[in-house]
Amino acid sequence: MAWVKLFKKPVSDIGKSYQPGSMVSLALTKGLLNEPGQNSCFLNSAVQVLWQLDIFRRSLRQLPGHFCLGDACIFCALKSIFTQFQHSRERALPSDNLRHALAETFKDERRFQLGLMDDAAECFENILERIHLHIVSDIGMETCTSKSCITHQKFAMTLYEQSVCRSCGASSDPLPFTELVHYVSTTALCQQVECVLEKSERLRPDTFGELLQAASTTGDLRNCPSNCGQSIRIRRVLMNCPDIVTIGFVWDTEQSDLTEDVIRSLGPHLSLCELFWRVADENGRRTELLLVGMICYSSRHYCAFAHHTKTSRWVFFDDATVKEVGVRQSGGEVVPFRNRRAYP
C-alpha cells in the first residue's frame, strides 16, 4: 500500500515557537543511515517527521520517566536518536537500535522485522501507541486522558460518529472512538475532486478539508436507524482540539495514476471544522492547521519532507541525505507542492 501522509499543527503554536533559541537549527538536522539490505527507510522517514514536530520533540524531552523494556525499549531507542540528533557531530546517524527494538516488540505479529520493508504510516502510529504504553501502561488506548501521555494529549482525535435521518429525524446511538491517524482513500478523494471540477473550473486551495471530509463520508451510507427507508450519511463529531492532526492517504494500488490529482487537491492549511461534520471543542472550531510534514512513498521507497520552524524552509529527508527544498513565496510561505521533482 502506497500512501502520503500529512502532519498538521495549529498555526498558533507555530507562532509561539518562533522564539529565538527554542527551535532545532538546520545544523541539527541530520540524516539516518540505511545500509543495503536494511530497508529502514519507512522507519527513518517516521522518525524524521517526529523529530521535526516541535511539540512532540519538546514533550518527549520533558517527560521524567517511563516503563522501560530494556533492549527492546522503543521509548529509550527513540530518545537516544533524538539526543544524538542534538549532540552528535555526524551528518548521518544509525537508526539500528530503534529498528531492533521495533522488531523485538512486534515479533509475534511478524511486523517491522529486520531487513524487511514495512509501512511507514503504521510504523508512525505504532511508535505513538508504544509511547502511550511506556508512559501509562495501565490505561487503555481508547480511554487515555493522562496529562503526561504525549500520544493522546498531542495527537489523538477524540471522535464519535452518528447517523441522523433527515427524513424522519431518528438518530443512531453515538459511537465514540479515538484516532491517531485519520485515513482517507485517495480514490474517494479524487472522486470528490472530479465532482468539484464539474461545477467550477479549478480547485480552491482552501477546499482541501471539505474534500477530505466528503471523501471519508461519501459512499459510507447506513440505513435509517428507525428503518424509514432512507439511506443516510455518517456524521463524525470531533470532541477535542488535537495539537497535531495526521492524515494518512490510502492508495488502492501500488502503481496509482491518481498521484497528480492527489497532489493538486492538497492545501497547506486545514481547518478542523472542514474535516469533520461538527467540532464540539471551541478552540478546535477556531483552529487552523498548517502542513508541517509529509512522508511519501514511491518506487518501493519512503522519504519525508518536514517544515523547519526556524528557517521556515522545507527539508527533504532521504535516509542519509538531507536537503533544503521549497520555493519561498512573497509572503514568506513555502509551498512544498511546487517541488514534485524532489520526489525520488
- The catalytic residue positions are 41, 301
Minimum distance of Zn ion from residue 333's CB (angstroms): 33
Complex with Zn ion: residue 112 or 251, whichever CB lies closer: 112
Per-residue b/e over 294-322, b at no fewer than 16 CB within 10 Å? Answer: bbbbeeebbbbbbbbbbbebbbbbbbbeb
Complex with Zn ion: residue 47 or 303, whichever CB lies closer: 47
Complex with Zn ion: residue 39 or 59, whichever CB lies closer: 59
**Which cell goes with 94?**
544509525
Q: Which of residues 174-193 bind Zn ion (CB under 5 A)?
A: none
Complex with Zn ion: residue 117 or 170, whichever CB lies closer: 170
- Contact with Zn ion (CB under 5 A): which of 56, 75, 106, 297? 75
Complex with Zn ion: residue 144 or 190, whichever CB lies closer: 144
User: Residues binding Zn ion: what is the number (CB under 5 A)?
Assistant: 16
Where do runs of H (alpha helix) occur along the chain? 11-16, 41-52, 54-62, 74-87, 96-105, 120-135, 150, 186-199, 208-217, 259-265, 272-275, 282-286
Q: What is the helix, strand, coil percentage profile of the chain, to 5?
A: 40, 25, 40
Asked if residues 43 and 89 have their Cβ atoms less than 8 Å apart, the reply is no
Q: Pattern of binders to Zn ion over 316-335, x per CB under 5 A? A: --------------------
Q: Residue 148: which residues within 8 A CB-CB, separation 6 or more?
A: 63, 135, 136
Residue 78 binding Zn ion, by CB under 5 A: no
Q: Which of residues 6-45 bind Zn ion (CB under 5 A)?
A: none
Residue 167 binding Zn ion, by CB under 5 A: yes
- Contact with Zn ion (CB under 5 A): which of 11, 26, 68, 221? 68
- Contact with Zn ion (CB under 5 A): which of 8, 132, 235, 307? 132
Q: Which of residues 240-259 bind Zn ion (CB under 5 A)?
A: none
Per-residue DSSP letter, 152: I
**Which cell goes with 53?**
514536530
**Which cell goes with 30?**
541530520
What phi, psi does 101 have (nearest 5°)?
-60, -40
Residue whose C-alpha cell reads 472550531 in the numeric block: 285
Q: Which of residues 134-153 bind Zn ion (CB under 5 A)?
A: 144, 149, 151-152
Q: Pattern of binders to Zn ion over 204-233, x per CB under 5 A? A: --------------------x---x-x---
Residue 168 binding Zn ion, by CB under 5 A: yes
Q: Residue 57: which residues within 8 A CB-CB, separation 6 or more?
A: 24, 50, 51, 82
Q: ∠ CA 170-173-136 to the nearest 5 degrees?
A: 160
Residue 76 binding Zn ion, by CB under 5 A: yes
Q: Rounded to whole angstroms, what are the CA distances from 95 to 41, 43, 70, 92, 219? A: 10, 8, 17, 10, 41
The region of 18-26, 49-57, 126-134, 335-343 touching Zn ion under the rule CB under 5 A is 126-134
The region of 26-34, 124-132, 279-287, 299-307 touching Zn ion under the rule CB under 5 A is 124-132
Enumerate binding residues for Zn ion (CB under 5 A): 68, 73, 75-76, 132, 144, 149, 151-152, 165, 167-168, 170, 224, 228, 230
